[in-house]
Structure 1
Amino acid sequence: MKRFFFCAVLFALVGCSDKAVVDESTLMTTSFETLYGWLPASQSDLLSREQSHSGLYSTKVDPQHEYSLTYRSTLGDLHDTRISKMKVNAWVFVPDAQAQATLVISISNQGAKPGNMLWEGINLQQEVKGEYGRWVNVSRELTIPAEADDTNRLSIYLWRTGGDKAIFLDDVTLRNDKSVE
Structure 2
Amino acid sequence: MKKLLFVTALAGLAACSSDGTSSYQRLSGPNVLTDTSFEEVYGWGIDPATLTRERAHSGMYSMRVDPAHEYSMTYSVVIGQMSPRKVKKIKLSAWVFLPSENTKAILGVQIVDPDQGYKEVFGDGVKMETVKEYNKWVQVEKVMELPETLAPTHNLKLFLWRAAAVDPVYVDDVRLTIEE
TM-score normalised by the chain length of structure 1: 0.78
Q: How does 1:2-151 map to 2 (within 5 A)?
A: 22-35=28-41, 43-112=47-116, 114-126=118-130, 128=131, 130-151=132-153
Query: Match of 1:171?
Result: 173
Give the superposition deviation at 1:21: 6.0
Q: CA 1:35 to 1:122, structure 2 compared with 1: closer, same or farther past 3 Å?
A: closer
Computed over aligned residues only, the root mean square deviation of the Cα atoms, in angstroms, reads: 2.2
Measured in 2, the distance between the counterparts of 1:32 and 1:75 equals 22
State the shift of 1:31 in Å: 1.0
TM-score (norm 2): 0.78
Q: Give me the whole-angstrom Cα distance separating, in 2, the residues matched to 1:86 and 1:96.
A: 29
- Unaligned runs of 5+ residues in structure 1 are 1-18
Work out the number of aligned pairs and report it.
155
Following the alignment from structure 1 to structure 2, what is the Cα–Cα distance between the partners of residues 158 and 171? 13
Q: Following the alignment from structure 1 to structure 2, what is the Cα–Cα distance between the partners of residues 131 and 52?
A: 17
Please give the alpha-carbon distance, in whole angstroms, between the structure 2 residues aligned to 1:173 and 1:21.
Answer: 8
Identity over aligned pairs, percent? 34
Higher gyration radius (CA): 2
Query: Unaligned stretches of 5+ in structure 2?
Result: 1-24
Contact (CA 8 Å) 2:45, 2:75: kept in 1 or not? Answer: no
**How far is 1:163 from its partner?**
4.0
Which residue of 159, 162, 179 maps to 2:161? 159
Structure 1 residues 20 and 137, CA, compared in 2 at 3 Å: closer, same or farther?
A: closer
